[in-house]
């Protein structure tokens, strides 16, 4: 398995990932991970960005994983919360860009701790 830390943001870094939207986003990302045979090591949904630390089979390129998680989650979130379409540019919930790093240069435990600490600061 390969460990990846992904971070991505909504269009215009709008603070839309709150309340029921945030909870549903977590559910959707967990479903997608399961579908791909990935294990979520840490997940934190902030109002304006997402941290996803995931362990996935090496058959998936990081770019494929990022696009799959972002694409499928956007479709499901916009379907469940159509009012967000007005805040999404041309139906695009996420920006095109994302950050990804492997756990090679930093330990998996360090990345997990960073995400967990960010989660506790937000609560």
Q: Which residues have a catalytic role annotated?
A: 114
Q: What sign has the CA pseudo-torsion 7, 11, 15, 16? A: negative
Residue appearing with tokens 């469940």: 80
**Residue found under tokens 């998996």:** 108
Degrees, nearest 5: CA angle 119-54-66: 100
DSSP for 52-71, please give it: EEEEE-TTS-HHHHHHHHHH
């Amino acid at each position: 398995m390969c460990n990846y830390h992904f971070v991505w943001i909504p269009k215009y870094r709008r603070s839309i990932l709150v309340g029921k939207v945030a909870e549903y986003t977590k559910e959707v990302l967990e479903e997608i991970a399961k579908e791909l045979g990935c294990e979520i090591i840490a997940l934190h949904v902030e109002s304006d960005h997402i941290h996803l630390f995931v362990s996935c089979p090496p058959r998936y390129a990081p770019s494929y994983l990022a696009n799959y998680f972002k694409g499928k989650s956007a479709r499901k979130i916009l379907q469940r919360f159509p009012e967000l379409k007005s805040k999404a540019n041309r139906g695009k919930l996420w920006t095109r860009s994302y950050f990804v790093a492997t756990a090679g240069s930093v330990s998996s435990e360090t990345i997990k701790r960073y995400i967990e600490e960010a989660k506790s600061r937000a609560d």
